[in-house]
């Protein structure tokens, strides 16, 4: 297995140029659905205790996260064992959730609603709450013709499509503005490629486009959740997770699927140890962190 990943490292670092591309400035979405979806995303009444919304854990004013190791759901329950991933730029992920159990945003939107530790609803209670709100009834009738769980999830999905953060300093650098990032960040980008980070973190979302095992050269210490194995029951899928996007990574601590690493510099060093079998000197770590900080983009709320 280590030989395989060494070969992958060699191939990807050899052809690393242009493996990261800028985010689009905008994507197509249905604005009527997105406006409705934002209301649903923000609505705490769509939870069992009336206190939790999608925005509670995926705060759009905080880069789509809550910066906690484990988010708190209904009745103050901790939603373990996963750290809450950001909803920002999630439209560009090839699957949703750390273990990829949702194939798209519409599937993803349903899961927190009915998870007893998150929003704690049943389909019947959800539909009852929606039907009790005249504004929702009118909106669903005008847009969809009827109120269904699928249509509720579709509206939330359409809003989540708007949560993109283009125009990061690094995107501007890729587009030709050589002064958009510091010399330190430029060195960090070169180290990011040379050290092999780009073998997993690539594409327009700088991740989010493949599954990967955590703990290639060293066994990852927290085996509480086994990743894809929980879905497939294949031995080869133990400790395999979706590679997270690195966009806005400087804003979305703590890190890893279990939220075990609190700072970005520690995350870089630990990732080198577990995935690459090496320790990086502090200057290299600092340079890579500077590059990662240049990946923070701009979110402009277009749904008013």
Q: What is the DSSP string of 189-243?
A: HHHHHHTTGGGTS-TTTTS-S-EEES-SSS--S--S--BTHHHH--GGGTTEEEP
Q: Pick the catalytic residue from 32, 118, 219, 298.
A: 118
Cis-peptide into 162, omega within 30 deg: no
295 close to 206: Cβ distance less than 8 angstroms: yes
Q: What is the dihedral of CA 179, 182, 183, 189, to 10 degrees?
A: -100
Q: Looking only at Cα atoms, what is the longest distance across the chain?
A: 61
118 is catalytic: yes
Token duo for residue 244: 């997270």
* Pairing relationship of beta strands 211-213 and 240-242 according to DSSP bridges: antiparallel
Active centre residues (catalytic):
118
């Amino acid at each position: 297995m280590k030989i395989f990943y060494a070969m992958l490292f060699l191939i990807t670092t050899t052809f690393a140029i242009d493996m990261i591309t800028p985010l689009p400035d905008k994507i197509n979405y249905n604005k009527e659905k997105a406006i409705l979806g934002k209301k649903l995303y923000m609505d705490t009444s769509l939870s069992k205790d009336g206190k939790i919304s999608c925005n509670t854990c995926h705060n759009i004013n905080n880069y789509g996260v809550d910066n906690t190791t484990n988010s708190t759901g209904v009745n103050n329950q901790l939603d373990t064992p996963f750290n809450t991933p950001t909803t920002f730029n999630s439209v560009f992920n090839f699957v949703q959730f750390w273990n990829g159990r949702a194939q798209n945003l519409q599937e993803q939107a349903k899961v927190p609603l009915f998870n007893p530790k998150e929003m704690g609803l049943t389909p019947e209670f959800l539909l009852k709450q929606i039907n009790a709100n005249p504004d929702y009834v009118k909106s669903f009738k005008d847009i969809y013709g009827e109120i269904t769980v699928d249509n509720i999830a579709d509206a939330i999905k359409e809003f989540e499509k708007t949560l993109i953060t283009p125009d990061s300093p690094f995107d501007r650098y890729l587009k030709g503005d050589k002064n958009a990032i510091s010399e330190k960040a430029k060195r960090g980008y070169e180290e990011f490629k040379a050290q092999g980070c780009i073998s997993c973190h690539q594409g327009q979302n700088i991740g989010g486009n493949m599954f990967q095992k955590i703990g290639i050269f060293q066994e990852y210490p927290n085996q509480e959740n086994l990743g894809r194995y929980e879905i497939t029951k294949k031995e080869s899928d133990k400790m395999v997770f979706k590679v997270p996007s690195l966009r806005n990574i400087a804003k979305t601590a703590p890190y890893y699927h279990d939220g075990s690493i609190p700072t970005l510099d520690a995350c870089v060093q630990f990732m080198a140890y577990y995935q690459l079998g090496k320790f990086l000197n502090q200057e290299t770590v600092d340079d890579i962190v500077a590059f990662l900080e240049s990946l923070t983009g701009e979110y402009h709320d277009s749904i008013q």
